[in-house]
Amino acid sequence: MTLDSLHRTAYGDDHEAFRATVRQFLAKEVQPHADQWEKDKIVPRELWLKAGELGMLCPTVPEEYGGLGLDFGYNAIVDEELAYGAGATLGFSLHSDIVVNYLIAYGSEEQKREWLPKMVSGEVITAIAMTEPGVGSDLQSIRTSAKKDGNHYVVNGQKTYITNGQNADLTLVCAKTDPDVSPGWKGVSIILVESSRDGYRKGRNLDKIGMDSADTSELFFDDVRVPMTNCLGEEGKGFIYLMSELPQERLSIAVSAQASAQGAFDRTVEFVKDRKAFGKPVFDFQNTRFTLADLKTRLQVGWAHLDWALARHLRGELTPEEGAAAKLWHTEFQWDMMDKCLQLHGGAGYMNEYPIARAWRAARVTRIFGGTNEIMKELIGRSL
């Protein structure tokens, strides 16, 4: 099965040629190993290097820093193809859609030349550390600190639920450089912390209910000294930077959610046409056809909205509220799709050997990460 992109409006011929390369890569390098990586709960670093060779990592990085200088549509294609049928969660989108944007937009020339080429090649894997124990979507309340000591920051604190945490060579750490300023968001900065620094410790690879192949970690910082040149952009502007980049992050989540929903639907149609009950295919029951007809209709609406949002983002017009709405709608739809498709599988849907079970488990977190959907509603509501 392949994702049907013939009627899409967001992409051109060059995008679709790139899609063909991505599909070949996934078929050769990912799908045969997905089950093992799910068991290992991590993807080997060698895969990142192979993806880098094909230009699948950070395609928006300008050519002067070793990238291809392409638009976000190429990122979206990687996201779609991975979500549709790769069978494993690789952590590429966090690296390519989120972290790299901060460096491109706010990094110093020295930081860009040091890190961007290695991110493109897959030599360096990145993470961003925002969430802390007891602190979810409220970034103003983080307790991790970065205190000045001469020409260094001394970082102390703990982070959790960090995607790529085990594999990461470089982590963008959200920390308070001024804990006394009010309101609290004015004291937040983003500090680049290499995993080789003394006092930087990777905790356990967290045991999740889904997306098992994507390593997710606790991180600890005990008097980690980094030069002040490792501050990303201006000190105290971290919260503003985070808010500025959220539309793309949330659009990225929406892209993956929609493609994941399509993958679940396509596999379920195949299953119910093959599986029999009371002497006839499950597909021949009116309830099955009506359920699938409703889901098919919502898929059509979803793809139209997604292409609209992608087009706006490529023009630089997607607003934070529109990004939040895209994340909200597509992840809620994804979850409803997974639940209905699993139901149509009957008892087989509850067995991990069937792709729908893995997809159902992986889908649950999309309404949480990138800001919970309750926060999305709050953001949209504030704009009314």
**What's the pLDDT at 182?**
66
CATH code of the region 127-236: 2.40.110.10
Q: How far, in Å, CA of 146 to CA of 335, rounded?
A: 39
**pLDDT surpasses 80 at 86:** no
- Tens-place pLDDT, residues 270-313: 999 999 888 899 999 999 999 999 999 999 999 999 999 999 99
Q: Indicate the Cα dihedral angle 191, 196, 199, 202, nearest 10°.
A: 90
Buried b (16+ CB within 10 A) or exposed e, 108-132: eeebbebbbbbbbbbebbbbbbbbb
Q: Is 236 helix (H, G, I), strand (E, B) or coil?
A: coil
Q: Indicate which residue of 53, 249, 321, 378 is catalytic.
A: 249
- Give the mean pLDDT of the chain: 94
**What's the pLDDT at 5?**
79
Where in the sequence of the chain do the CATH 1.10.540.10 domains occur? 13-124
Confidence of residue 244 (pLDDT cuts 50, 70, 90): confident
**pLDDT surpasses 90 at 7:** no
- Scanning the structure block, which residue is given the tokens 């997974």? 338
Where in the sequence of the chain do the CATH 2.40.110.10 domains occur? 127-236
For 35, residues 6+ apart whose C-beta sits below 8 A from its C-beta are 87
- Tens-place pLDDT, residues 66-75: 999 999 999 9
156, with CB counted inside 10 A (0-12, 13-18, 19+), is middle
Conformational region of residue 222, where left means phi above 0, alpha means psi within -120 to 50, and beta covers everything else: beta
Q: Is 249 labeled as catalytic in the residue annotation?
A: yes
C-alpha closest to that of 156 among 201, 204, 220: 220
Contact yes or no for 104/62 (Cβ under 8 A)? yes
**What's the pLDDT at 180?**
75
Confidence of residue 263 (pLDDT cuts 50, 70, 90): very high
Where in the sequence of the chain do the CATH 1.20.140.10 domains occur? 240-382
* Secondary-structure class of domain 13-124 per CATH: mainly alpha
pTM (2 d.p.): 0.93
- Tens-place pLDDT, residues 106-140: 999 999 999 999 999 999 999 999 999 877 656 77
High-pLDDT (> 90) share of the chain, %: 85
**What's the pLDDT at 136?**
64
**pLDDT surpasses 80 at 240:** yes
- Tens-place pLDDT, residues 192-204: 999 999 999 999 9
Q: How far, in Å, CA of 110 to CA of 118, rounded?
A: 13
**What's the pLDDT at 290?**
98
**pLDDT surpasses 80 at 87:** no
Cis peptide upstream of residue 247 (ω within 30 degrees of 0) = no
354, with CB counted inside 10 A (0-12, 13-18, 19+), is middle
Q: How far, in Å, CA of 366 to CA of 373, rounded?
A: 9
**pLDDT surpasses 90 at 105:** yes
CATH code of the region 240-382: 1.20.140.10
Q: What is the mean pLDDT of residues 223-247?
A: 93
- Tens-place pLDDT, residues 143-186: 999 999 999 999 999 999 999 999 999 999 999 998 877 676 68
Q: Which helix (H) or strand (E) holds 80?
A: helix 72-85
